[in-house]
Amino acid sequence: MIRTILCFGDSNTHGTRPMPDLAGAGRFGHEARWPSVMGRALGSGYEVIAEGHPGRTTVHDDPMEGAHRNGIRVLPALLESHKPLDMVLLKLGTNDLKNCFHVSAADIAFCLDRLIRLIRASGAGREGGAPDVLVIAPPPILEVGCLAEMFAGGAGKSHDLAAAIGAMARRLNAGFLDAGQIIAVSPVDGIHYEAEAQVKLGLAMADALRQHFA
């Protein structure tokens, strides 16, 4: 059986390069993005679907960039279009740290709780069941470079994310991985990952999935 994995995330799942300015620096090539690295490491027994959207939040309509960045709005359609799914990797929370949303680490964990409950109620797993869920806490951010003002006040809160998300995942009996124990954000913009971090995260996720499905 081929296991189907949906990677639901933001710009770092999309493969956005660290941004020297607001004009951006483009996107890493397909093979360099962490979902692709993970899929390659897992081998032919897995199908990995990368659904990363720059600016995606957990449950918030972005007042500048649009409601389509709201994860909870688009997730039901993605679950339906890609089912049956064996696993959803949920990697969101960084964009919720933007100053415009004014939410705490605990708030972000509760928002992820809503997404997990949606996934489990979706019937998008095998034979109409629920896919497994593994939540990835993003690494702490830095308030540097061209994105510093946008994320003002977010760096301090980001250090509390792993503990808040981990506690929520344990409460819901969901899988959990703290990406901050594996990688760090780029000092260029404080949000995105360098190429080496994309590889490290992909390999770590492959190990986590092997253990989960062993």
Q: What is the pLDDT of residue 79?
A: 98
pLDDT digits (tens, 9 = 90+) for 22-36: 998 899 999 999 999
To 10 degrees, what angle do helices 34-42 and 195-213 make?
A: 40
C-alpha dihedral (162, 167, 171, 176), degrees to nearest 10: 30
Specify the pTM.
0.97
Cα 192 from Cα 42, distance rounded (Å): 24
Tell me how many degrees the CA angle 208-210-214 measures, rounded to the nearest 5.
Answer: 125
* 57: helix, strand or coil: strand
Average pLDDT in the 161-167 region?
98
Q: What is the mean pLDDT of the chain?
A: 97
Cα 132 from Cα 85, distance rounded (Å): 8
pLDDT digits (tens, 9 = 90+) for 70-125: 999 999 999 999 999 999 999 999 999 999 999 999 999 999 999 999 999 999 99
Q: What is the pLDDT of residue 1?
A: 87
Residue 43 contacts by C-beta under 8 Å, 6 or more apart in sequence? none
Residue indicated by tokens 């059986």? 1
Domain ranges of the chain: 3-213
* 107: helix, strand or coil: helix
Q: What fold, for 3-213? A: Rossmann fold (3.40.50)
Is the pLDDT at 141 greater than 90? The verdict is: yes
Average pLDDT in the 40-69 region?
96
Is the pLDDT at 50 greater than 90? The verdict is: yes
